[in-house]
Amino acid sequence: MTEQQFEHDVVVVGGCGHVGLPLAIALADSGASVLVYDLSQDAVATVNSGQLPFDEPGADDKLKAAVADGRLRAHTDPAVVGGAEHVVVVIGTPVDEHLNPDPQAIPRALDACADHLRDGQLLVLRSTVFPGVTRLVEQLVAERGLAIDVSFCPERIAEGKAMTELYSLPQIVSGRDQRVRERAAALFRRLTGTIVELEPEEAELAKLFTNTWRYIKFAAVNQFYMIAESRGLDFERIRQGLVQDYPRAADMPSAGFAAGPCLFKDTMQLAAFNDNNFALGHAAMLVNEGLPLHVVSQLEQEHDLRNCTVGILGASFKAGSDDIRSSLAYKLKRILGFRAKHVLMTDPYVTVDPDLVPLDRVLSESDVLVVATPHPEYRAITTDKPVADVWNVLGTEVAQ
Ligand SMILES: NC(=O)c1ccc[n+]([C@@H]2O[C@H](COP(=O)([O-])OP(=O)(O)OC[C@H]3O[C@@H](n4cnc5c(N)ncnc54)[C@H](O)[C@@H]3O)[C@@H](O)[C@H]2O)c1
């Protein structure tokens, strides 16, 4: 590969997003000179003002410092893609309304800036991709006659934990040969000491298996929850009882809405990859997506919801987050919109939904409450109103 000089170390394509931006910040904090390329003008302006476009604990001060001393700068001009040795691609890879993945999402995004790619660069794919996309990108690069190494290095952080997990999780790196893997490993050694090498096709599946495994585990406990609750038993008491001092069940999570932009769609990507022969994945989807319906049906057994105001506590898809993407709280809201007299929703973190109302109003005006998101703030709530609390936020504790 030709030796080239680059003015910057890294450019992150999609670098104003939920995983691209924490990575850009962490790399800048490690001393790298980082460019961000993103289509969103608003997010680029926000980042260049030293502000995060979304909550990410621990990233705020590091972003301010990196912007202030010029180690991180965001752009909407695709020409910046040619300015750094490492090009890391972290754009979104959603499934469509028919649950089809889009294997062309990454090649299309790269095509738009391919004129700026330069020999000698390392192209790191970091989005979660449909298996085979790494090879498609290798072909795209070859067809354009570019001497560029291509590596797939999946991101496995959880939102809200990026600024610790980028440093603590092992990093899977993959590439067609050892030299490519070494280049990718050298980049990520800036953040973490543990590098795991796989072939690209193995790494693509490793990422999908990681998320699908988690989604199926949540589905298992959610099904257990529905079995227990429909017989009038408290699932969380049972769970706490069975995991106590029993290592083989120590990883059994609590029940709760399994939502957000990744787990569901990556399970569907895996199903599509296997020609839709994925009974376990589809069953997990039915259980997890069915939980809000189950909660409403259980409520209807005890309350005439047509005459009730139902208050939903939480809008984001997970605790302590302002991210409402694919949140099941909104599915719950839609169901209740048909079945209840009135629905109110509140969330202490979410700022993008003008229909949310303050917590006090939800607590005073609702006849029935549903905890949709286990925000820590809700643990302090005391109410004599009926509460549907899948997450057990208001608390069952088994006597020790
Ligand atoms: N959110 C997570 O917790 C998480 C964790 C691990 C992996 N992932 C994966 O990371 C990828 C990104 O997810 P995300 O949650 O950060 O998405 P996101 O929507 O928050 O961020 C994507 C960013 O890419 C930008 N963008 C879209 N198309 C572009 C293009 N053609 N050129 C330049 N910029 C473009 C968008 O403006 C946005 O800022 C997905 O593949 C996802 O599955 C997400």
258-270 pLDDT tens trace:
999 999 999 999 9
Nearest CA to ligand 1 atom 10: 127
Measured from the CB, is residue 106 less than 6 Å from ligand 1? no
pTM of the model: 0.95
In short, whether 157's Cβ falls inside 6 Å of ligand 1 is yes
- Asked if residue 22 has its Cβ within 6 Å of ligand 1, the reply is no
Residue-level pLDDT at 193? 94
Predicted confidence (pLDDT) per residue in 301-327, tens digit: 999 999 999 999 999 999 999 999 999
Read off the pLDDT of each residue in 109-120 and give the average, rounded to a whole number: 94
What distance in Å separates the CA atoms of residue 47 and residue 44, rounded to the nearest whole number?
5
Q: Note the pLDDT tens digit of each residue in 346-379.
A: 999 999 999 999 999 999 999 999 999 999 999 9
Q: What is the pLDDT of residue 5?
A: 87
> Is there an atom of ligand 1 within 6 Å of 210 CB?
no
Pocket test for ligand 1, best of 25, 80, 91 (most atoms within 8 A of CB): 91
Q: Is the pLDDT of residue 400 over 50?
A: no
2: pLDDT strictly greater than 80: no
Query: pLDDT (tens digit, 9 = 90+) per residue, 64-98?
Result: 999 999 999 999 999 999 999 999 999 999 999 88
> HSE on the CB side for 244, CA within 13 Å?
11
How far is CA 229 from its chain centroid? 29
Closest ligand 1 atom number to CA of residue 113 = 32
- CA angle 267/230/283 to nearest 5° reads 15
Whose CA is closest to atom 13 on ligand 1? 92
> Using CA atoms, how far apart are residues 18 and 27, in angstroms rounded to an integer?
15
Q: Whose CA is nearest to atom 31 of ligand 1?
A: 109
In this structure, the residue with its CA closest to atom 7 of ligand 1 is: 155
Helices and strands in the chain, H and E counts = 13, 12
Ligand 1 site, residue 155, Cβ cutoff 6 A? yes
Q: What share of the chain has pLDDT > 90, as a percent?
A: 96
Test site for ligand 1: of 80, 140, 155, 268, most ligand atoms within 8 A of the Cβ:
155
pLDDT band per the 50, 70, 90 thresholds, residue 1: low
**How many Å lie between the centroid of ligand 1 and the Cα of residue 92?**
3
Give CA angle at 106 (103, 110), nearest 5°: 140
Confidence grade of residue 3 (pLDDT, cut at 50, 70, 90): low
Mean pLDDT rounded to a whole number for the chain: 96
